[in-house]
Amino acid sequence: MVAMTRAGSVLIADDDRAIRDSLERALRLEGYRVRTAADGVEALAEVHGEPVDLLVLDVMMPGVDGLGVCRVLRKEGDRTPILMLTARVETSDRVAGLDAGADDYLPKPFELEELLARLRALLRRASPAAEEGAVEPLQVGDLRMDPGSRRVWRGGQEVELSKTEFDLLELLVRNAGIVLDHPTIYDRIWGYDFGPESKNLAVYISYLRRKLEPEGASTLIHTVRGVGYTVRPQETG
C-alpha cells in the first residue's frame, strides 16, 4: 500500500457494521486516525464534537442519510472533504451526491486500493497550499478563477464549486486550448487512473457544464471524442 504523506483523521459513517469495521481496520493500517458512526445523526454529532480531515459517508443510512449529512455540513459552512459511498449506479444518483456538496463518490462494491487513492487525493487537495505569496487569477473568455480564494465567476456571476470541481476546472483552465486526455486528468486530479470503463470523469465534466454553461451561455468545456477535454472560449464567426 502507498504510504500517506501525513496522518489524517477520518470519520466513516455507514449503517453496515461489517463495512465500518473493515474500513476502520484498513485505514488504521494506512496511518489514519479513524472514528465511526452508524447513522447520519451520529455522524453529525461526531463532526460537531470534533472536526475531522475527511468524511466517508454511505448514502443510504436510516434517519438522516449521507446526502442529508452533507447538506447540513455545507449549509453550516463546513468544507471538510466528503467521499460518498453509494450502491446506486445511475448518473442521476451520483449527481445528487455532488449536488448535496460531496467532493467525490465511489460506487459499491469497490476495491480498497481505489478508495485509498480517492482519500489521498482529497487529503492532498484539502491541504493548504505552500505559502508562496499571491496567486495570479486565471481567465479564459468570460470565466475568471482566483486559485488563492478558490472562487470562480462566469460572466460576472459567481459559481459555487466543490473542491474536486474546482481542481478539475483549474487544471483545464491552466491548460486552456490543450486537449488533456483521460489518463492525464485522472492522474492529476485523483492520482489514480480508474480505467476506460470509469464514468467518474464524465460525471464531473457534466456537472461543471451544468454550473458553468446554463441555458443561453456559450460552450466553455469542449469534448474531443476519443481523447479528452479542453477549455476554450466559444469561437465566433
pLDDT tens-digit map of 132-152: 445 688 999 999 999 888 899
Q: Which residue has the higher pLDDT, 159 or 127?
A: 159
For residue 221, the model assigns a pLDDT of 94
Tell me the range of 36-40, 91-95, 112-116, 134-138 where mean pLDDT is highest: 36-40
| pLDDT class of 123 with cuts at 50, 70, 90 | confident
Host H or E run for residue 93 = helix 91-99
- Superfamily (CATH H level) for 9-126: Response regulator (3.40.50.2300)
Query: What's the rounded Cα separation, in Å, for the pair 160 and 65?
Result: 23
Mean pLDDT of all residues in the chain? 85
Residue 26 pLDDT greater than 90, yes or no? yes
pLDDT tens-digit map of 44-67: 999 999 999 999 999 889 888 999
CA dihedral 151, 152, 155, 156 (to 10 degrees): 0
Mean pLDDT of 115-141: 74
Q: Which residue has the higher pLDDT, 21 or 101?
A: 21
Mean pLDDT of 148-157: 89
| pLDDT class of 91 with cuts at 50, 70, 90 | low
Mean pLDDT of 80-92: 79
- The dotted CATH code for 138-231 is 1.10.10.10
Query: What's the rounded Cα separation, in Å, for the pair 141 and 191?
Result: 29
pLDDT tens-digit map of 199-221: 778 888 998 999 998 877 889 99
For residue 55, the model assigns a pLDDT of 96
Mean pLDDT of 10-25: 94
Mean pLDDT of 190-198: 71
> Is the backbone peptide bond immediately before 51 cis, with ω within 30 degrees of 0?
no
Host H or E run for residue 21 = helix 17-29
For residue 53, the model assigns a pLDDT of 93
| pLDDT class of 89 with cuts at 50, 70, 90 | low
Question: Grid coordinates representing 160?
Answer: 459555487
For residue 144, the model assigns a pLDDT of 94
Question: Grid coordinates representing 225?
Answer: 471524442
Question: Grid coordinates representing 139?
Answer: 481567465
Question: Which of 89-98, 100-109, 170-179 is least confident?
Answer: 89-98
CB 66 within 8 A of CB 59: yes
Where in the chain are the domains? Answer: 9-126, 138-231
